[in-house]
Amino acid sequence: MTPSADKIRICSIASGSNGNAYYVEYADEAVLVDAGISFRQLNIRAKIKKIDLRKIKAVFVSHEHSDHVRGLRSLCEKTGAVAYLTPLTARCCRAFYLPSSYSTFAAGEVVGVGGLTVHSFAKQHDASDPCSFRIEAGGISIGVMTDIGAPNLEMEAHLAQCNAVFLESNYDEQMLWDGKYPAYLKQRVASDVGHLSNAQSAQLVAEVAPPHLHTIILSHISADNNRPGIALKAFAGLRDRYNIITASRYEAGDIIDITADSWSVAQVHVPMPRLW
């Protein structure tokens, strides 16, 4: 079944320090934000969810860390998708993760991919030139906002336009400070170029109070310093206003159909051909 022109289909294929890949589909075209798991694993997860990887026309890379680019080269070579990176991200990316050709963009630039419009903006993270994205089509906006140490004005402005967002909720503060990480790593995670805690993420949503937002997928949840239930508990005061779910590091999440004012879990029963 093909989504109609008034909805966007989204799926968290992978989310966490072991790999990230966020799928956004409109009509018969799609983009992926990050390709941080192997192509083999990406293909397995896509097949389970009946996602046709041939629909992916572009992969937008948020930054050069391996959990965001590990499968980039293979995906682009096997599907023909175009990789988009900032020039500095490409320069700092390990060469064996890069496809033989790719396109570049600058933070703040808007890139059109078929019927999808991808808005990029700078974010605070310990990488060379990190970016987040808002993807728009048919009057609907999807945010992919993870690996962020502290919100900035650009993030707040884009979040306020979203109908749905993959939003970082990386760690529980008590679990982090009481946990097994060495002190320097705890400081890095909690710094302004590290990650957003559950509390920071919930506070951001409460303060920005996006009028269009109805679905929040809590993403990049730490395996060591968080739990999905703890992340959801931090958003308890907001769950009467938003559909709030958690993304998994171990498997692809539900495919969700997003319209301007509603969401639904897609029931896809179309058999997929074996591609690779």
Reply yes or no on whether the pLDDT at 124 is more than 50.
yes
Residue 173 token pair: 């503060």
Confidence at residue 10, expressed as pLDDT on a 0 to 100 scale: 98
Mean pLDDT of 200-216: 95
* Residue whose structure tokens are 């879990």: 265
Reply yes or no on whether the pLDDT at 274 is more than 80.
no
Confidence at residue 209, expressed as pLDDT on a 0 to 100 scale: 84
When pLDDT is cut at 50, 70 and 90, the band that residue 210 belongs to is confident
**pTM for the full predicted model:** 0.94
Mean pLDDT estimate for the chain? 94
When pLDDT is cut at 50, 70 and 90, the band that residue 270 belongs to is very low
What is the DSSP secondary-structure string of 166-215? EEE--B-HHHHHHSSS-HHHHHHHHSTTS--BHHHHHHHHHHH--SS--E
What residue type is assigned to position 57 of the chain? K
Reply yes or no on whether the pLDDT at 143 is more than 50.
yes
Contact between residue 270 and residue 64 where contact means Cβ atoms under 8 Å apart: no
Of residues 269 and 19, more confidence is placed in 19
- Alpha-carbon span 115 to 119, nearest angstrom: 13
- Alpha-carbon span 61 to 33, nearest angstrom: 6
Question: Please, what are the domains in the chain?
Answer: 8-263 (3.60.15.10)
* Of 2-6, 71-75, 180-184, 248-252, the least confident: 2-6
Task: Count CB atoms within 10 A of the CB of residue 232.
Answer: 16
Kindly report, residue by residue over 30-70, the tens digit of the pLDDT. Answer: 999 999 999 999 999 999 999 999 999 999 999 999 999 99
Percent pLDDT > 70 in the chain is 95
Reply yes or no on whether the pLDDT at 141 is more than 80.
yes
Reply yes or no on whether the pLDDT at 273 is more than 50.
no
Contact between residue 41 and residue 53 where contact means Cβ atoms under 8 Å apart: no
Taking the CA atoms of 80, 85, 90 and 92 in sequence, report the sign of the dihedral they define.
Answer: negative
Contact between residue 258 and residue 9 where contact means Cβ atoms under 8 Å apart: yes
Confidence at residue 267, expressed as pLDDT on a 0 to 100 scale: 60
Residue 206 token pair: 């409460």
